[in-house]
Amino acid sequence: MNKLSEEAITSFLQIVPTAKRDELMSNHTSVKIGGPARLYVVAPSNAELLRIIGEAARLNIPFVVFGGGSNLLVADDGYEGVVIQAADRSMRIEGERVIAASGAPTGVVARAAAEAGLEGFEWGIGVPGTIGGATYGNAGCFGGEMKDVVSAVETYDPAHGSRRTFSNADCRFGYRDSRFKHDPYILLETTLLLRPGNRETALTRMTEVMEKRKASQPQGSFSAGCLFKNYEFQDGSALDILKRHGDGIPETFLTQKRIPAGWLIDRLGLKGTSIGQAQISPVHGNFFVNRGGARAQDVLALSSFVKMKVRDELGILLEDEVQLIGW
Protein backbone atom coordinates (compact mmCIF):
# COMPACT_ATOMS: atom_id res chain seq x y z
CA MET A 1 0.00 0.00 0.00
CA ASN A 2 1.28 3.49 -0.82
CA LYS A 3 2.40 5.52 2.15
CA LEU A 4 -0.02 8.31 3.05
CA SER A 5 1.40 11.77 2.48
CA GLU A 6 1.95 14.05 5.50
CA GLU A 7 -0.31 16.55 3.80
CA ALA A 8 -3.21 14.05 3.59
CA ILE A 9 -2.69 12.98 7.22
CA THR A 10 -2.61 16.58 8.49
CA SER A 11 -5.69 17.57 6.47
CA PHE A 12 -7.61 14.56 7.76
CA LEU A 13 -6.64 15.28 11.39
CA GLN A 14 -7.84 18.86 11.00
CA ILE A 15 -11.23 17.80 9.68
CA VAL A 16 -11.59 14.79 11.99
CA PRO A 17 -9.87 15.94 15.20
CA THR A 18 -10.94 12.83 17.14
CA ALA A 19 -8.78 10.68 14.86
CA LYS A 20 -5.52 9.28 16.21
CA ARG A 21 -2.30 8.72 14.38
CA ASP A 22 -0.43 5.39 14.40
CA GLU A 23 -2.88 3.68 16.71
CA LEU A 24 -1.99 0.03 17.33
CA MET A 25 -4.75 -2.25 16.12
CA SER A 26 -3.73 -4.78 18.77
CA ASN A 27 -5.62 -2.47 21.15
CA HIS A 28 -8.82 -3.05 19.17
CA THR A 29 -8.85 -6.72 18.20
CA SER A 30 -9.94 -9.61 20.41
CA VAL A 31 -6.77 -11.53 19.50
CA LYS A 32 -4.66 -8.52 20.59
CA ILE A 33 -2.65 -8.57 17.37
CA GLY A 34 -2.23 -5.89 14.72
CA GLY A 35 0.19 -3.12 13.80
CA PRO A 36 -0.56 0.61 13.55
CA ALA A 37 -3.47 2.12 11.70
CA ARG A 38 -1.90 5.19 10.15
CA LEU A 39 -5.16 6.93 11.14
CA TYR A 40 -7.77 5.54 13.52
CA VAL A 41 -11.12 6.95 14.48
CA VAL A 42 -14.22 5.86 16.36
CA ALA A 43 -17.51 6.92 14.74
CA PRO A 44 -20.04 7.22 17.58
CA SER A 45 -22.98 7.73 15.21
CA ASN A 46 -23.81 6.67 11.68
CA ALA A 47 -23.98 10.35 10.67
CA GLU A 48 -20.37 10.76 11.85
CA LEU A 49 -19.38 7.50 10.12
CA LEU A 50 -20.67 8.83 6.81
CA ARG A 51 -18.96 12.18 7.32
CA ILE A 52 -15.61 10.49 8.04
CA ILE A 53 -15.93 8.22 5.01
CA GLY A 54 -16.76 11.26 2.87
CA GLU A 55 -13.66 13.12 4.07
CA ALA A 56 -11.40 10.09 3.57
CA ALA A 57 -12.71 9.68 0.03
CA ARG A 58 -12.26 13.39 -0.70
CA LEU A 59 -8.62 13.22 0.45
CA ASN A 60 -8.06 9.96 -1.43
CA ILE A 61 -7.24 8.10 1.76
CA PRO A 62 -8.11 4.38 1.77
CA PHE A 63 -10.42 3.36 4.60
CA VAL A 64 -11.82 0.26 6.22
CA VAL A 65 -14.74 -0.04 8.65
CA PHE A 66 -14.91 -2.58 11.43
CA GLY A 67 -17.05 -3.26 14.49
CA GLY A 68 -15.88 -5.17 17.54
CA GLY A 69 -12.64 -6.53 16.08
CA SER A 70 -13.53 -10.09 17.11
CA ASN A 71 -13.03 -11.67 13.70
CA LEU A 72 -10.00 -9.75 12.51
CA LEU A 73 -6.37 -10.47 11.83
CA VAL A 74 -4.61 -7.18 11.13
CA ALA A 75 -1.12 -7.31 9.62
CA ASP A 76 1.91 -6.56 11.80
CA ASP A 77 2.66 -3.64 9.46
CA GLY A 78 -0.80 -2.26 10.15
CA TYR A 79 -2.99 -0.40 7.68
CA GLU A 80 -1.89 2.55 5.58
CA GLY A 81 -5.17 4.46 5.65
CA VAL A 82 -8.04 5.21 8.04
CA VAL A 83 -9.45 2.44 10.18
CA ILE A 84 -12.93 3.45 11.34
CA GLN A 85 -14.74 1.74 14.17
CA ALA A 86 -18.51 1.81 13.60
CA ALA A 87 -19.70 2.54 17.14
CA ASP A 88 -23.31 3.67 16.76
CA ARG A 89 -24.94 1.45 19.38
CA SER A 90 -28.49 2.73 18.99
CA MET A 91 -31.30 0.23 18.89
CA ARG A 92 -35.10 0.21 19.00
CA ILE A 93 -37.82 -2.41 19.12
CA GLU A 94 -40.98 -2.01 17.03
CA GLY A 95 -43.37 -4.92 17.51
CA GLU A 96 -41.53 -8.02 16.31
CA ARG A 97 -38.72 -6.02 14.77
CA VAL A 98 -35.43 -5.09 16.39
CA ILE A 99 -33.66 -2.33 14.51
CA ALA A 100 -30.02 -2.05 15.51
CA ALA A 101 -27.28 0.27 14.27
CA SER A 102 -24.25 -1.66 13.07
CA GLY A 103 -22.18 -0.76 16.15
CA ALA A 104 -24.69 -2.25 18.60
CA PRO A 105 -23.07 -5.19 20.44
CA THR A 106 -24.65 -8.46 19.32
CA GLY A 107 -25.09 -9.74 22.88
CA VAL A 108 -26.81 -6.51 23.98
CA VAL A 109 -29.24 -6.75 21.06
CA ALA A 110 -29.93 -10.42 21.84
CA ARG A 111 -30.66 -9.64 25.49
CA ALA A 112 -32.90 -6.65 24.66
CA ALA A 113 -34.92 -8.83 22.27
CA ALA A 114 -35.38 -11.54 24.92
CA GLU A 115 -36.31 -8.97 27.57
CA ALA A 116 -38.99 -7.70 25.18
CA GLY A 117 -40.39 -11.25 24.90
CA LEU A 118 -39.08 -11.86 21.39
CA GLU A 119 -37.67 -15.28 20.54
CA GLY A 120 -35.29 -16.50 17.83
CA PHE A 121 -32.10 -14.60 18.61
CA GLU A 122 -31.12 -16.14 21.94
CA TRP A 123 -28.05 -17.72 20.31
CA GLY A 124 -26.67 -14.20 19.69
CA ILE A 125 -25.96 -13.69 23.40
CA GLY A 126 -22.45 -15.10 23.34
CA VAL A 127 -21.29 -13.92 19.92
CA PRO A 128 -18.67 -11.21 20.48
CA GLY A 129 -18.66 -8.07 18.36
CA THR A 130 -21.36 -6.02 16.74
CA ILE A 131 -24.53 -6.53 14.72
CA GLY A 132 -22.74 -5.02 11.70
CA GLY A 133 -19.93 -7.59 11.96
CA ALA A 134 -22.41 -10.40 12.56
CA THR A 135 -24.45 -9.42 9.50
CA TYR A 136 -21.31 -9.06 7.37
CA GLY A 137 -20.16 -12.62 8.13
CA ASN A 138 -23.58 -14.25 8.67
CA ALA A 139 -22.49 -15.15 12.19
CA GLY A 140 -24.17 -18.03 13.92
CA CYS A 141 -23.96 -20.76 16.51
CA PHE A 142 -25.96 -23.59 18.05
CA GLY A 143 -28.21 -23.89 15.01
CA GLY A 144 -28.98 -20.17 14.55
CA GLU A 145 -27.59 -17.84 11.90
CA MET A 146 -28.11 -14.18 11.03
CA LYS A 147 -29.74 -15.24 7.78
CA ASP A 148 -32.65 -16.69 9.79
CA VAL A 149 -33.43 -13.43 11.57
CA VAL A 150 -32.36 -10.54 9.30
CA SER A 151 -35.22 -8.90 7.43
CA ALA A 152 -33.37 -5.86 6.03
CA VAL A 153 -29.94 -4.24 6.03
CA GLU A 154 -29.39 -0.55 5.42
CA THR A 155 -26.05 0.26 3.87
CA TYR A 156 -24.02 3.02 2.31
CA ASP A 157 -22.44 2.52 -1.07
CA PRO A 158 -19.21 4.55 -1.09
CA ALA A 159 -18.71 4.07 -4.82
CA HIS A 160 -21.98 5.90 -5.62
CA GLY A 161 -22.32 8.00 -2.49
CA SER A 162 -25.83 6.68 -1.85
CA ARG A 163 -27.73 4.56 0.65
CA ARG A 164 -29.20 1.23 -0.27
CA THR A 165 -31.41 -1.15 1.68
CA PHE A 166 -31.17 -4.88 1.04
CA SER A 167 -33.85 -7.45 1.79
CA ASN A 168 -32.82 -10.78 3.30
CA ALA A 169 -32.74 -12.43 -0.15
CA ASP A 170 -30.61 -9.59 -1.55
CA CYS A 171 -28.03 -10.08 1.20
CA ARG A 172 -27.06 -13.40 -0.46
CA PHE A 173 -26.34 -15.04 2.87
CA GLY A 174 -24.39 -18.28 2.79
CA TYR A 175 -22.41 -20.20 5.36
CA ARG A 176 -20.36 -17.45 7.11
CA ASP A 177 -20.85 -15.43 3.97
CA SER A 178 -22.92 -12.56 2.59
CA ARG A 179 -22.76 -10.20 -0.36
CA PHE A 180 -21.06 -7.69 1.97
CA LYS A 181 -17.92 -9.84 1.97
CA HIS A 182 -17.76 -9.35 -1.79
CA ASP A 183 -19.27 -5.89 -2.46
CA PRO A 184 -17.81 -2.96 -0.53
CA TYR A 185 -20.95 -1.64 1.18
CA ILE A 186 -20.77 -0.02 4.61
CA LEU A 187 -23.35 -1.51 6.95
CA LEU A 188 -25.38 1.07 8.85
CA GLU A 189 -28.35 -0.72 10.35
CA THR A 190 -29.77 -4.24 10.52
CA THR A 191 -33.43 -5.06 11.11
CA LEU A 192 -34.16 -8.40 12.75
CA LEU A 193 -37.59 -9.97 12.50
CA LEU A 194 -38.22 -12.21 15.52
CA ARG A 195 -41.11 -14.28 16.91
CA PRO A 196 -43.38 -13.00 19.65
CA GLY A 197 -42.81 -15.38 22.55
CA ASN A 198 -42.17 -15.61 26.23
CA ARG A 199 -39.57 -13.50 28.04
CA GLU A 200 -38.75 -16.16 30.64
CA THR A 201 -38.35 -18.89 28.01
CA ALA A 202 -36.03 -16.69 25.96
CA LEU A 203 -33.91 -15.73 28.98
CA THR A 204 -33.62 -19.37 30.10
CA ARG A 205 -32.50 -20.39 26.60
CA MET A 206 -29.84 -17.69 26.74
CA THR A 207 -28.46 -19.06 29.98
CA GLU A 208 -28.25 -22.49 28.35
CA VAL A 209 -26.41 -21.02 25.35
CA MET A 210 -23.85 -19.37 27.64
CA GLU A 211 -23.31 -22.63 29.52
CA LYS A 212 -22.71 -24.50 26.25
CA ARG A 213 -20.19 -21.90 25.13
CA LYS A 214 -18.29 -22.08 28.39
CA ALA A 215 -18.05 -25.85 28.04
CA SER A 216 -16.85 -25.88 24.42
CA GLN A 217 -14.65 -22.81 23.91
CA PRO A 218 -11.41 -21.62 25.49
CA GLN A 219 -12.11 -19.08 28.21
CA GLY A 220 -9.98 -16.11 29.20
CA SER A 221 -7.62 -16.30 26.21
CA PHE A 222 -7.13 -13.90 23.32
CA SER A 223 -8.44 -15.26 20.01
CA ALA A 224 -10.29 -14.19 16.87
CA GLY A 225 -12.86 -16.97 17.19
CA CYS A 226 -12.74 -19.68 14.57
CA LEU A 227 -9.89 -19.28 12.13
CA PHE A 228 -11.36 -21.58 9.48
CA LYS A 229 -14.82 -22.22 8.08
CA ASN A 230 -16.15 -25.68 8.71
CA TYR A 231 -15.83 -27.86 5.63
CA GLU A 232 -19.03 -28.16 3.58
CA PHE A 233 -19.45 -30.78 0.89
CA GLN A 234 -22.16 -31.84 -1.53
CA ASP A 235 -20.85 -35.20 -2.59
CA GLY A 236 -19.55 -37.83 -0.15
CA SER A 237 -16.68 -38.69 -2.52
CA ALA A 238 -15.03 -35.44 -1.34
CA LEU A 239 -14.38 -37.35 1.89
CA ASP A 240 -12.67 -40.40 0.38
CA ILE A 241 -9.23 -39.63 1.81
CA LEU A 242 -10.68 -38.67 5.19
CA LYS A 243 -12.65 -41.93 5.32
CA ARG A 244 -9.45 -43.92 4.90
CA HIS A 245 -7.95 -42.09 7.89
CA GLY A 246 -8.88 -44.29 10.84
CA ASP A 247 -12.14 -44.10 12.83
CA GLY A 248 -15.46 -43.24 11.31
CA ILE A 249 -16.92 -39.84 10.65
CA PRO A 250 -19.83 -39.03 13.02
CA GLU A 251 -23.19 -39.58 11.33
CA THR A 252 -24.41 -36.03 12.15
CA PHE A 253 -21.54 -34.55 10.10
CA LEU A 254 -22.56 -36.68 7.11
CA THR A 255 -26.24 -35.76 7.33
CA GLN A 256 -25.45 -32.06 7.77
CA LYS A 257 -22.85 -32.27 4.97
CA ARG A 258 -20.49 -30.24 7.14
CA ILE A 259 -17.32 -31.34 8.93
CA PRO A 260 -16.18 -29.03 11.74
CA ALA A 261 -12.68 -27.69 11.03
CA GLY A 262 -11.85 -28.10 14.72
CA TRP A 263 -12.63 -31.82 14.49
CA LEU A 264 -10.29 -32.23 11.48
CA ILE A 265 -7.51 -30.37 13.29
CA ASP A 266 -8.03 -32.42 16.44
CA ARG A 267 -7.96 -35.62 14.40
CA LEU A 268 -4.48 -34.78 13.15
CA GLY A 269 -3.36 -34.25 16.73
CA LEU A 270 -2.57 -30.59 16.11
CA LYS A 271 -4.22 -29.08 19.18
CA GLY A 272 -1.64 -27.25 21.26
CA THR A 273 0.79 -26.77 18.33
CA SER A 274 2.40 -23.33 18.31
CA ILE A 275 4.52 -21.05 16.19
CA GLY A 276 6.02 -18.19 18.17
CA GLN A 277 3.34 -17.14 20.65
CA ALA A 278 0.44 -18.23 18.38
CA GLN A 279 -1.05 -21.51 19.46
CA ILE A 280 -3.83 -23.82 18.33
CA SER A 281 -5.96 -23.89 21.45
CA PRO A 282 -5.57 -27.11 23.43
CA VAL A 283 -9.36 -26.84 24.09
CA HIS A 284 -10.76 -26.20 20.59
CA GLY A 285 -8.84 -27.03 17.43
CA ASN A 286 -10.33 -24.18 15.38
CA PHE A 287 -9.42 -21.46 17.89
CA PHE A 288 -5.96 -19.98 17.59
CA VAL A 289 -4.90 -18.15 20.70
CA ASN A 290 -2.36 -15.44 21.36
CA ARG A 291 -0.29 -16.54 24.35
CA GLY A 292 1.14 -13.04 24.69
CA GLY A 293 2.97 -11.01 22.08
CA ALA A 294 2.05 -13.23 19.10
CA ARG A 295 2.52 -11.62 15.72
CA ALA A 296 0.06 -11.78 12.84
CA GLN A 297 2.84 -13.51 10.89
CA ASP A 298 2.91 -16.29 13.49
CA VAL A 299 -0.84 -16.83 13.17
CA LEU A 300 -0.62 -16.88 9.39
CA ALA A 301 2.29 -19.34 9.45
CA LEU A 302 0.38 -21.60 11.85
CA SER A 303 -2.74 -21.34 9.69
CA SER A 304 -0.73 -22.25 6.54
CA PHE A 305 0.79 -25.21 8.36
CA VAL A 306 -2.66 -26.48 9.41
CA LYS A 307 -4.11 -25.98 5.92
CA MET A 308 -1.22 -27.92 4.42
CA LYS A 309 -1.53 -30.81 6.89
CA VAL A 310 -5.33 -31.05 6.47
CA ARG A 311 -5.00 -30.93 2.67
CA ASP A 312 -2.16 -33.45 2.45
CA GLU A 313 -3.41 -35.91 5.04
CA LEU A 314 -7.19 -35.62 4.80
CA GLY A 315 -7.69 -34.29 1.27
CA ILE A 316 -9.67 -31.25 2.46
CA LEU A 317 -9.04 -27.59 1.69
CA LEU A 318 -9.83 -25.33 4.63
CA GLU A 319 -10.93 -21.74 3.99
CA ASP A 320 -10.34 -18.74 6.25
CA GLU A 321 -13.20 -17.51 8.39
CA VAL A 322 -11.18 -14.74 10.00
CA GLN A 323 -11.04 -11.47 8.02
CA LEU A 324 -7.70 -9.98 7.05
CA ILE A 325 -6.86 -6.27 7.11
CA GLY A 326 -3.66 -4.71 5.81
CA TRP A 327 -2.25 -7.76 4.02
Ligand X SMILES: Cc1cc2nc3c(=O)[nH]c(=O)nc-3n(C[C@H](O)[C@H](O)[C@H](O)COP(=O)(O)OP(=O)(O)OC[C@H]3O[C@@H](n4cnc5c(N)ncnc54)[C@H](O)[C@@H]3O)c2cc1C
What is the binding site for ligand X (CB under 6 A)?
A: 30, 64-72, 86, 102, 127-130, 132-134, 136-137, 139-141, 186-187, 217, 223-225, 323
- Rounded CA-CA distance 182/39 in Å is 24
- 265 in Cβ contact with 286 (< 8 Å): yes
**Nearest CB to ligand X, comparing residues 29 and 273:** 29
> Is 38 labeled as catalytic in the residue annotation?
no
* Kind and range of the H or E run holding 309: helix 296-314
Nearest distance from C-beta of residue 187 to ligand X, angstroms:
4
- 242 in Cβ contact with 249 (< 8 Å): yes
Which among 23, 48, 122, 176 is annotated as catalytic? 176
**Nearest CB to ligand X, comparing residues 72 and 302:** 72
Nearest distance from C-beta of residue 229 to ligand X, angstroms:
10
Q: Which residues, at least 6 apart from 167, have a Cβ–Cβ distance to it below 8 Å?
A: 151, 152
Nearest distance from C-beta of residue 132 to ligand X, angstroms:
3
Nearest distance from C-beta of residue 247 to ligand X, angstroms:
26
> Is 258 labeled as catalytic in the residue annotation?
no
Amino acid at 151: S
Question: Hey, which bits of 117-219 come out as E strands?
Answer: 118-119, 140-141, 144-145, 150-157, 162-167, 186-193, 195-196
**Nearest CB to ligand X, comparing residues 71 and 279:** 71
Which among 154, 189, 226, 267 is annotated as catalytic? 226
Nearest distance from C-beta of residue 3 to ligand X, angstroms:
22
Phi then psi for residue 288, to 5 deg, are -100, 130
**Nearest CB to ligand X, comparing residues 239 and 261:** 261
- 271 in Cβ contact with 280 (< 8 Å): yes
**Nearest CB to ligand X, comparing residues 8 and 109:** 109
- Per-residue burial over 60-92, b = 16 or more CB atoms within 10 Å of its CB, e = otherwise: ebebbbbbbbbbbbbbbebbbbbbbbbbbbebe
Nearest distance from C-beta of residue 217 to ligand X, angstroms:
6
Instruction: Give the distance between the most distant pair of CA atoms in the chain.
Output: 63
Task: Name the strands in the sheet holding 222-226, side by side, starting at the edge strand that comes first in the sequence.
Answer: 222-226, 287-290, 278-280, 274-275
**Nearest CB to ligand X, comparing residues 136 and 253:** 136
DSSP bridge partners of 320: 228
> Is 319 labeled as catalytic in the residue annotation?
no
Active site residues: 176, 226, 321
